[in-house]
Amino acid sequence: MSKQAATGATGAGRKVYSAYDDPGTGEEISRRTFMANATMVVGGLIGLGLVIPIVGSLVPEGGGGKGSWAPLKPDEVKQLQDATATPVKLTFNLKSKDSYLPLQTSEEYVWGIKVNDPSKFVKERTPDLFPTGNAAKPNVDGYDVINMGFVIFSPICPHLGCRPNWVSDSNRFQCPCHGSQFGLDGEHLAGPAPRGLDPLPFKEQSGQAEIMWIRYQSGTPDRIVISYQS
């Protein structure tokens, strides 16, 4: 056998080592373990710093705060001023915004009632409209129900959120979904609704009539605010 063949035979059984096969000294192992753990910790902190604002941006803005005011259409306010014993549908632009969506504008409406005799109005109302305050100055969530001789009602039924319509023949609001009925003054007259119609804040600002949209929780006798107009 030649010398080359002998060498080749011997080389075939020889293991070739690389730097990865050498575990290193104990000090080197500890250093590598520390660096790996430190890298994971730093990476986790960076990831957490990114996740918090991202998640926060995906959460819609809550209904907290005092809300904002929306102007009513002047011609409809004039109809309200001239009204006698019928409600007037008042429209306005409702603005809303979630954290992850641009500002949205949609048309909404409320029911306006002209109150010729506030004392009579209060006297004939059942207590479900005025859970706080007193007969002389009833209020809900800190705002006067009767303002400038008018009351503004939300169009949303307190039962399950449908929208009652004013029916002149019966002289009352009637909900088309489950049959709840309400008087001109918002009093609950019939049906499964747990309370009367919900009043909304109303004011005059620099010659402009304005309302604040508030959404109350349905299905409960108590008026619990879910959200304000943003």
Quick one: pLDDT at residue 182? 93
Average pLDDT over residues 36-62: 52
CATH assignment, 70-228? 2.102.10.10
Q: Which of 47-51, 92-96, 224-228 has the highest mean pLDDT?
A: 224-228
Q: Report the side by side order of strands in the sheet with 188-190.
A: 165-167, 172-174, 181-182, 188-190
User: pLDDT tens, 65-98?
Assistant: 456 788 888 888 888 888 888 899 998 887 765 5
Spatial distance between the Cα atoms of 128 and 121, rounded to a whole number of angstroms: 14
Is there a contact between 151 and 166 (Cβ–Cβ < 8 Å)? no
Q: At a CB cut-off of 8 Å and minimum separation 6, what does 123 contact?
A: 135
Domain residue spans in the chain? 3-58, 70-228
Going by pLDDT thresholds of 50, 70 and 90, the confidence category of residue 26 is low
